[in-house]
Amino acid sequence: MNFSRKILIPVFACITAAVISAVSLAEDTIFNIACYSGQSVSAESRDTTVAHGITRKADGSFDFSVNGVTYKNEYERILAEDGFIYGIDYNKFGTYAQYSQGIGDNVITGRKSVYKAEYVERSLYNLKALGFTAINPWILAGGSGFTYDENGLVTGIGDRFVEDLRNLMESCRRVGMDVVPTILVHGWGHLFNYEYNGLSPYEIRLKYFRYYYDDAAREAYVDNGVSKVCGILSEYQDIIPIVNLTVENGTLTNDTENGMLYAEDGVSWKDFASLLNLLHDTSKKYMPDIPTSVEDVGWDINGFKYNDLKVDIIGYNYYSVKGTPNLETRFQQRPAYLGELNVGESENVNQYSDEVLNAARVRHYRSAVEGGYLGAFFFCVHTMAPGRNSNLFAEYRTDDYSLLQDYALDLSYTITDLKNEYKGIKPIMDKPVMLYNFDSDTNYWIGGRGVDYFTLERSDNGGKWHVIADNIDSMDNSMDNGLITYTDDTRIAGVKYRYRVIAVDYDGNKMTSDPTNENEVYVPTEMFVDANGNYAGGFEDGEYKATYDDDHLSENSNGWYVYNDDRGNPNNCGRFTAEEAHSGKYSFKVDYENGIGTAGQYTTFMVYNLKLEPSRTYHFGMWYKTKRGSISITVRPVGSTDNLCYTGLTNTEEDDTEWHYTEVDFNSPDDGLVRVVIMNSSKTVTDTRFYIDDMTITEFR
């Protein structure tokens, strides 16, 4: 079977612009009718239109006849639609302190799922708006999702994993985003750098990851785990163009006959090849029409050896500032995509300016299309980026649009141009695209090129559209990253709102965006309160209440508690001061050089206990003024040292006289009990000096 991108191009000739609009309307309707239901269509007893106009029949099979054209699978449809798969890696579902955890609970580490369906769906909505058509998620990262027996053999998949996986697939279906799920991620327990349950990282590998070479462990892994996962995925073939079997595991293999000696503790190529072929067969058993792929190949010899395996598509990764090589230069005989592309890993990016790096990122997709690849996945949405500023969002969250990198819109425009060139379309102006509205009175959109001004319209409770603002100038209302923003201060509580924007060019031509999601005004409750319900995040008591003692702290403290050192002395990391304050009288000050706080000790910290609503997502924010920061502010479950979220302070060479705000997200534990911890985070930094004030914790919806 030949999966070449080029042979599918003529299929698209019969698909018109009108068809494209119809498909978009169908997807939008599905998204808004079923938003956040979390329900699978597996129990449907009738034919159902799912994503992209594809039909799921009552018997569970799929009819890929869309607007008079019949395709074999979603792989053929998406290539016929766009000529290329414009993907982005969405590897992890969580913030900085959580990114090592995949979906589902991890029995090995004891870490709980960090997956939040609403948050992920909002991210998918925005990635779709930027032009991406597929994500590549690591759905079984670090052994998460599986259940095990006492010998480390897989016995099944966990209930929370099933819930999270279905939520992810349903969200992608509603948004119209394709998924290339990765089954086997970084084997050998890549994510285990610490001891868990009395086992060292090496012992964890031997117990839980024997399926690379042990027949009994492999049988349990596939029959009790992977088969069940593939069974779920098979219900969503309308959004799965490819099943990615493994990522970056080839570097853990050794083949002495061919001189492949990559890993000191690697497995043989023969064992790895057997495992990979078994994963291929398992995927085909449940999804026979969906091609399989690998994202392992970084060396020519690997690419050649993979041609001997059953996998359908080869995946390469490239991080070069100089672009991507032409596919014809590779030593392989199968279709290929770029599993990851960006800049950073293959070169020292510090020798390049941001302008050069940004231009390279924007150019990557065009070079991939022209190089003969069938798709490419930008690396990545947030965190884990290979080089400087390589992630799409500057920090670990996607709901703050000021964090969208300034090259993101150029990347989006490049994808738009490539799609239009493939379809033979030459629009006179770009269609504006609304981003997700986060229960806010401020709207954000991608304005497009060739626009003179915008008109913002609103629908209240599903009613008629009416103008909120006219003649919105793109320059006056543009953010640094190029997004257009406008605040509607006429909203009231209890009304559901939707927005759309009309772009007008210099000749009076108009293009109207698709509507935003529907929401209503939400005013979050401040949760950083004391035992009497009064706001406590501003340090206004001006003193410590007691030394830290788990036994006598209430759910909501009446003040900050200080940890005792080994000699029983209060070992606070700073002190309250009236010198500076963002608001009120007091702030918290650290100045190691002048003896305020103790440098060089990780055990220097203070805590505030709080009672939150169980299993909800919260924003944790604070104001700070700093010269240099070696202090960590974390939120942890009471009685635990695991971080639910973590934030540090930005280092500056000179004193910064301005107050700045920072915010991170976290998920509250099952009992809702957390402690906010301010602690020393370095044993070597001795010149830290900063103030922090006005901590806040509010629910994120």
Homologous superfamily of 546-699 = Galactose-binding domain-like (2.60.120.260)
Q: Are 693 and 611 in contact (CB under 8 A)?
A: no
Q: Which residues pair with 317 in a beta bridge?
A: 340
Sign of CA dihedral 4, 8, 10, 15: negative
Over residues 24-51, the pLDDT tens digits come to: 333 333 333 333 333 444 445 789 999 9
CA distance 87 to 369: 12
Predicted confidence at residue 282, as pLDDT, reads: 98
Tell me the β-bridge partners of 86.
376
Better-scored residue on pLDDT, 637 or 92: 637
Question: What pLDDT is recorded for position 683?
Answer: 63
Q: How many C-beta neighbours within 10 Å does residue 88 have?
A: 23
Name the least confident of 232-241, 312-321, 345-354, 467-476.
345-354
Residues 6 or more apart whose CB falls under 8 angstroms from that of 599 comprise: 592, 630, 680, 682, 685, 686, 688
> Residue 470: which region, alpha, beta or left (left: phi > 0; alpha: psi -120 to 50)?
beta
Collapsing DSSP to helix, strand or coil, 243 comes out as: strand
- The residue with greater pLDDT, 35 or 355, is 355
598-621 average pLDDT score: 81
Q: Please say if the pLDDT value at position 318 is more than 90.
A: no
How does DSSP assign 389-452, residue by residue?
Answer: T-SSBSSS-SS-GGGB-TTHHHHHHHHHHHHHHHHT---SSPPPEEPP--S-SEEEEE--SS--
Mean pLDDT of 321-347: 82
Domain 433-520: CATH class, spelled out: mainly beta
For residues 589 and 274, give the distance between their C-alpha atoms in angstroms, rounded to a whole number.
59
| CB-based contacts of 236, cutoff 8 Å, min separation 6 | 169, 172, 173, 179
Distance CA 337, CA 164 (A): 27
Q: Cα–Cα distance between 202 and 207 in angstroms, integer?
A: 9
What rounded mean pLDDT belongs to the chain?
83
CB 135 within 8 A of CB 124: yes
pLDDT band at 601 (very low <50, low <70, confident <90, very high): low
| Mean pLDDT value across residues 512-517 | 96
Average pLDDT value for residue range 116-141: 92
Going by C-alpha positions, the residue among 312, 318, 313 that lies closest to residue 368 is: 318
- Distance of alpha carbon 668 from the chain centroid: 19
> From residue 593, how far is each of 562, 599, 646, 679 by CA, in Å?
21, 9, 25, 17
Helix (H, G, I), strand (E, B) or coil at 468: strand
What does the pLDDT look like over 212-256, one tens digit per residue?
999 999 999 999 999 999 999 999 999 999 999 998 777 677 777
What's the pLDDT tens digit per position in 378-422?
988 876 555 667 889 887 667 789 889 999 999 999 999 999 999
Smallest CA-to-CA distance from 456 within 477, 439, 475 is with: 477
Q: 691: which 2 tokens?
A: 């103030």
CATH class of 6-421: alpha beta
Least confident of 151-165, 211-225, 534-548: 534-548
- Cα of 490 vs its chain's centroid, Å: 33
Distance CA 468, CA 486 (A): 10
Q: Which residues contact 137 (CB under 8 A, 6 or more apart)?
A: 90, 91, 93, 103, 168, 179, 181, 182
What's the token pair of residue 530? 């004391």
Q: What is the CA radius of gyration of the chain?
A: 26
Domain ranges of the chain: 6-421, 433-520, 546-699
**pTM of the entire predicted model:** 0.81
Distance of CA 634 to the CA centre of its chain: 21
How would you classify the pairing of strands 673-680 and 631-637? antiparallel
- Which position has the token pair 């948050």? 119
697 or 636, higher pLDDT:
697
